[in-house]
């Protein structure tokens, strides 16, 4: 499903570079032993940016919940309405989540609690890859 | 400035700050281009009404708390000149959009020459709830003695949040973490509500009595959008048949963006004795600033945050849930109102029980008035109806919305379950 192409910035470039290499990484604060996503320039818990590192994760997770979007303000998504948007909790830490259109899952037939695995989709304008998730059958 | 932690005991200014005057501009769906109906002009109108309502002279006002942002999701078109008749009608500042798509204290003071004694100004960003908490703390700390709190909203032509970055093929900044997948502002709440329904065995249809009630109360709110512009009742059938925006959020679970401004006059109880209206005492303020871990907050984070808000409010006010005569927590998406009131334990409810409460008598005549203001769903997207209603209920001048039971203590605040600001109001000073 076509999406806007994200423009990497200094603080999140390692995330997007990893996507282009087919790897999923998230930030980890070494001082707090705490994963976080989306990336930040500082750890919200300890306030330090000095202890942030990038950690590769398994790319496995579970579907927490979802909604079905019928009226998006984002132009490039409107042609595919209605579409699923699921919240994916990472296997390594369910407190960290990502969003997904769940490619391959029919609209409004989302199996909440099901296992999912990450894939990477290229966005049309720049080719930047972004994470997506598919239900593991 | 914000009371964000539990365990702080009674609020240090409990009962030492009072709301007295209220002012409201007329409402409209969008700006008609007339300088006299611009957001700046509407703020001035509301502030003058609040001064008049309180019965003070303008030179007694020594503080203004306001919000610089006035957007409902509509932005002044890039490169479009500000109309000359607007520039001719008001004293400008170095910010060209001041008074038309933004607001500053400098602009307000320049265009309200009667305010000759303002020594304190502060921004309460985001919405009236934030501004009220800031003003309450400022009056309590003696930074201002007679303070106007104002919030204005502009709305222009075009659909909500369409255009701008959402119309582009690339995305920058923090929007990239949501724009790639999601969409309407109500999506996150819809997803949380879906989780709520699965966790507690509830359905979207169970929201109908609440949403219908909100519109009914909105039609009894003379200051509100629906009462002024489209006096149309909403039926259960209308609600259940409405189109989805982000299922399970439908059209009526979303509030309608409008233009409107409101202002309140805050002061000390001592000063309030000489004013025209009965003072309403602020017993407690609380704010939530809990960080989220993922792209979107999940249900459990909302539940934890709202429970903490309830504990902070009650601790600060020295009351319990059973002391509340009514609640006016934010509803602008209707699907999170239950998170707020379950966090408060309003009417004795526990987690997962709010929608059951909605199936009982939640009217203003009943034993457990739920959102007697009608909220944003009842009067349009301003995030201030609930505060006006709290003050009016406790002053005994809520008109057709006046609750039948004795109005002694109320609670209001918002916007979202996470990151909001909240107040406990009382008709009487604390004993």
CB neighbour burial string for B28-37, b if at least 16 within 10 angstroms, e if fewer: bebbeeebeb
Is the Cβ of A100 closer than 8 Å to some Cβ of chain B? yes
Asked, colleague to colleague, whether B1-9+186-256+279-431 and B18-159+257-267 share their fold, the answer is yes
CB neighbour burial string for B365-381, b if at least 16 within 10 angstroms, e if fewer: eeebbbbbbbbbbbbbb
Is the Cβ of A109 closer than 8 Å to some Cβ of chain B? no
Res B354 pLDDT > 90: yes
To the nearest whole angstrom, how far is the Cα of B252 from the nearest Cα of chain A? 14
ipTM for the complex?
0.95
pLDDT at B159: 74
Res B161 pLDDT > 80: no
pLDDT at B145: 98
- Determine whether the interchain pair B298/A100 forms a contact, defined as Cβ–Cβ distance below 8 Å: no
Is the Cβ of B290 closer than 8 Å to some Cβ of chain A? no
pLDDT at B183: 74
Which residues on chain A are in Cβ contact (under 8 Å) with B182? 69, 72, 74, 85, 99
Interfacial A residues in 20-39 facing B (CB < 8 Å): 35-38
Is the Cβ of B243 closer than 8 Å to some Cβ of chain A? yes
To the nearest whole angstrom, how far is the Cα of B284 from the nearest Cα of chain A? 27
Which residues on chain B are in Cβ contact (under 8 Å) with A12? 176
Res B78 pLDDT > 90: no
pLDDT at B291: 80
Fold adopted by B18-159+257-267: Peroxisomal Thiolase; Chain A, domain 1 (3.40.47)
To the nearest whole angstrom, how far is the Cα of B286 from the nearest Cα of chain A? 21
Res B146 pLDDT > 80: yes
pLDDT band at B74 (very low <50, low <70, confident <90, very high): confident
| Residues A28-66: tens digit of each pLDDT | 999 999 999 999 999 988 999 999 999 999 999 999 999
pLDDT band at B278 (very low <50, low <70, confident <90, very high): very high
Return the domain boundaries, chain B.
1-9+186-256+279-431, 18-159+257-267
Is the Cβ of B245 closer than 8 Å to some Cβ of chain A? yes
Mean pLDDT across chain A? 96
CATH of A58-137, one of 3.30.950, 2.40.50, 3.40.50, 2.60.120: 2.40.50
Q: What is the pLDDT averaged over residues A103-110?
A: 98
**Is there a contact between B329 and B344 (Cβ–Cβ < 8 Å)?**
yes
| Residues B296-351: tens digit of each pLDDT | 999 999 999 999 999 999 999 999 999 999 999 999 999 999 999 999 999 999 99
Mean pLDDT across chain B? 96
Residue B384 structure tokens: 């201030």
pTM metric for this prediction? 0.96
Please spell the DSSP secondary structure of B127-171, one letter per residue: SHHHHHHHHHHHHHTTS-SEEEEEEEEB--SS-TT-SGGGGSSEE
| Residues B232-246: tens digit of each pLDDT | 999 999 999 999 999
Is the Cβ of A124 closer than 8 Å to some Cβ of chain B? yes
Is the Cβ of B71 closer than 8 Å to some Cβ of chain A? no
pLDDT at B2: 95
Q: Which residue from B351, B354, B359 is spatially nearest to B334, judged by alpha carbons?
A: B354
| Residues B207-233: tens digit of each pLDDT | 999 999 999 999 999 999 999 999 999
Q: Residue A96 phi/psi, 5° resolution?
A: -105, 130
**Is there a contact between B232 and B239 (Cβ–Cβ < 8 Å)?**
no
Residue A122 structure tokens: 């290229």
**Is there a contact between B272 and A25 (Cβ–Cβ < 8 Å)?**
no
| Nearest C-alpha in A relative to B190 | A67
Please spell the DSSP secondary structure of A41-70, one letter per residue: SS-TTT--STTEEEEE--SEEEEEEEEEES
Return the domain boundaries, chain A.
7-56, 58-137
CA distance B204 to B74: 29
Fold adopted by B1-9+186-256+279-431: Peroxisomal Thiolase; Chain A, domain 1 (3.40.47)
Q: Residue B407 phi/psi, 5° resolution?
A: -90, 105
Which residues on chain A are in Cβ contact (under 8 Å) with B293? 35-37, 93, 95-97
């Amino acid at each position: 499903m076509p999406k806007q192409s994200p423009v990497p910035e200094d603080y999140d470039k390692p995330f997007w570079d990893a996507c282009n290499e087919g790897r999923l990484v998230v930030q980890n604060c070494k001082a707090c032993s705490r994963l976080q996503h989306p990336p930040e320039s500082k750890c919200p818990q300890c306030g330090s940016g000095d202890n942030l590192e990038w950690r590769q994760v398994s790319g496995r997770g579970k579907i927490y919940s979802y909604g079905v979007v019928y009226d998006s303000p984002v132009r490039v998504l409107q042609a595919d309405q209605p579409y699923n948007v699921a919240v994916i909790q990472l296997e390594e830490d369910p407190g960290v989540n990502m969003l997904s259109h769940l490619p391959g899952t029919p609209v409004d037939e989302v199996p909440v609690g099901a296992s999912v695995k990450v894939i990477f989709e290229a966005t049309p304008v720049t080719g930047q890859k972004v994470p997506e998730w598919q239900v593991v059958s | 400035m914000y009371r964000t932690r539990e365990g702080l005991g009674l609020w240090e200014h409990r009962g030492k700050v009072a709301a007295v005057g209220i002012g409201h501009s007329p409402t409209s769906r969008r700006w008609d281009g007339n300088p006299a109906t611009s957001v700046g002009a509407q703020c001035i109108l509301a502030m003058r009404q609040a001064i008049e309502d309180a019965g003070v002279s303008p030179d007694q006002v020594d503080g203004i708390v306001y919000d610089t942002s006035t957007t409902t999701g509509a932005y002044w078109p890039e490169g479009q000149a500000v109309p000359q008749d607007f520039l001719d009608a008001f004293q400008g500042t170095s910010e060209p959009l001041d008074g038309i798509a933004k607001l500053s204290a400098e602009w307000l003071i320049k265009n309200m020459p009667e305010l000759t004694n303002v020594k304190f100004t502060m921004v309460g960003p985001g919405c009236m709830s934030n501004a009220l908490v800031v003003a309450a703390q400022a009056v309590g700390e003696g930074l201002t003695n007679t303070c106007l709190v104002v919030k204005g909203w502009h709305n222009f032509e075009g659909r909500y949040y369409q255009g701008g970055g959402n119309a582009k093929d690339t995305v920058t900044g923090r929007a990239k973490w949501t724009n790639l997948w999601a969409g309407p502002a109500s999506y996150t709440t819809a997803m949380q509500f879906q989780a709520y329904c699965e966790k507690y065995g509830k359905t979207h249809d169970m929201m109908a009595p609440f949403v219908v009630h909100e519109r009914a109360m909105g039609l009894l709110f003379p200051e509100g959008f629906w009462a002024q512009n489209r006096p149309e009742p909403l039926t259960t059938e209308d609600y259940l048949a409405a189109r989805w925006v982000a299922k399970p959020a439908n059209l009526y679970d979303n509030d309608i963006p409008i233009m409107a401004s409101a202002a309140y006059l805050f002061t000390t109880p001592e000063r309030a004795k000489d004013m025209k209206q009965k003072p309403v005492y602020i017993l407690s303020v609380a704010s939530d600033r809990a960080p989220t871990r993922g792209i979107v907050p999940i249900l459990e984070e909302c539940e934890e945050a709202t429970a903490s808000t309830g504990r902070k409010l009650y601790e600060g006010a020295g009351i319990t849930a059973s002391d509340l005569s009514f609640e006016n927590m934010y509803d602008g998406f209707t699907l999170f109102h239950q998170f707020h009131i379950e966090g408060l334990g309003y009417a004795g409810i526990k987690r997962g029980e709010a929608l059951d409460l909605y199936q009982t008598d939640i009217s203003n005549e009943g034993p457990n008035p739920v959102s007697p203001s009608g909220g944003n769903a009842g009067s349009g997207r301003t995030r201030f109806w609930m505060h006006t209603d709290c003050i009016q209920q406790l002053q005994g001048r809520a008109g057709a919305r006046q609750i039948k039971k004795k109005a002694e203590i109320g609670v209001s605040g918002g916007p979202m379950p996470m990151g909001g600001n909240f107040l406990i109001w009382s008709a009487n000073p604390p004993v």
